[in-house]
Copies of this chain bind each other. A is one copy, B any other.
Amino acid sequence: MANRLRLSDLAEQAGVSTATVSRVLNGKAEVAEDTRQAVLRALDLLGYERPEKLKERSGGLIGLIVPELTNPIFPQFVQHLSTAMLQQGYTPLLGTQFAAGSTEDSLVEAILNQGVTGLIFVSGLHADLNADTARYQALVDKGIPFVTINGRNKQISAPDFSTDDRDAITQSMRHLIGLGHERIAFTSGPLRFSPARAKYKRYLECLKEMLPGQEPITSETLFTVEGGQAAARAVLDQGATAIICTSDVMALGTIRYAIDQGLRVPEDVSVIGFDDSSVMPFLSPALTTVRQPVPAISSAAVTTLVANIKQTPNQMSSTTFKPELVVRETTAPPRH
């Protein structure tokens, strides 16, 4: 492709006028950011070098610690957090905890060695009520700004941004009770993780408030497909007609177990997930689930961290974000 820059080619590719292209290339301020990006994309796509003055400079690296990438909710957080970082001039440095059998501590160490300006922990040890919080205090002592996502821990002096777990359960319970269910089960990974614990407590409260006299039906397994299968067996044996799963991946295992037992979803058993991760809307049946507000959490987390890095005033402290119940095809009235 030619190296001589033709404004008309760029304008056509970007879908804007040649005058706009010219304004962007000259670094004029009166162009909308979307338009500017479209022109820069067109430049890149057509294989031109960006003019030197338009090159973006990074504010530095931000370490991003996620437990794994197999559960699609974590790539979703990575995508939104990375986007927010890049928009604010920072570059994400990703550490996945179970890569190479590494641990959070070893990852943090490797990442700190790269000279990061701050850290974001998604569903890390901060959320594990059994884990020592000294590791986080050590970061505070070293003056390294960080924020946590999903698992507020009062022993850690850093802002946390989490989905409102109690509200997620309230919404799930109301929906299932509204459909006529009374034997509603709660299945979860280890309750030593604070988001699971919060959901579990709220489930017990909801039972008392909304279905007085009903005994809880619960199973504590793992946040995996296999965990969902095992939990489904346990709670279906106790006569559950609806199952609240505390992750979409567990919901997949639950549905799989039900179908393998010759049960239909939702005719014979209703299933609700939690997360609304990437492919869930496209399953057949599509999963009814509680959507985590990933974009809002990501944006607040990065904005607050960047303010702390820059030591600019920021009033944002730990915040919970309302989730929304997305009713699709895996919930229905119970069979009688």
Contact = CB atoms under 8 A, between A and B. Distances in A.
Nearest to A48: B132
A291 B134 CA distance: 43
Interface stretch (A106-114, A204-212, A317-325): A106-114
B75 A249 contact: no
Contact of A101 (B41, B56, B57, B132): B41
A279 B249 contact: yes
A131 to B, nearest CB: 7
Nearest to A68: B79
A100 interface: yes
B61 A114 contact: yes
A37 B97 CA distance: 13
A105 interface: yes
Interface string A57-93: 1100100000011111011101100111011000111
Contacts of A140: none
Contact of A252 (B37, B93, B282): B282
Interface of A: 1, 3, 34, 37-38, 40-41, 43-47, 50, 55-58, 61, 68-72, 74-76, 78-79, 82-84, 86-87, 91-96, 99-106, 109-111, 113-114, 131-132, 134-135, 225, 249, 252-253, 255-256, 259, 265, 278-279, 282-284
A-B pairs with lowest CB-CB distance, top 5: A47-B132, A44-B103, A69-B75, A44-B105, A75-B75
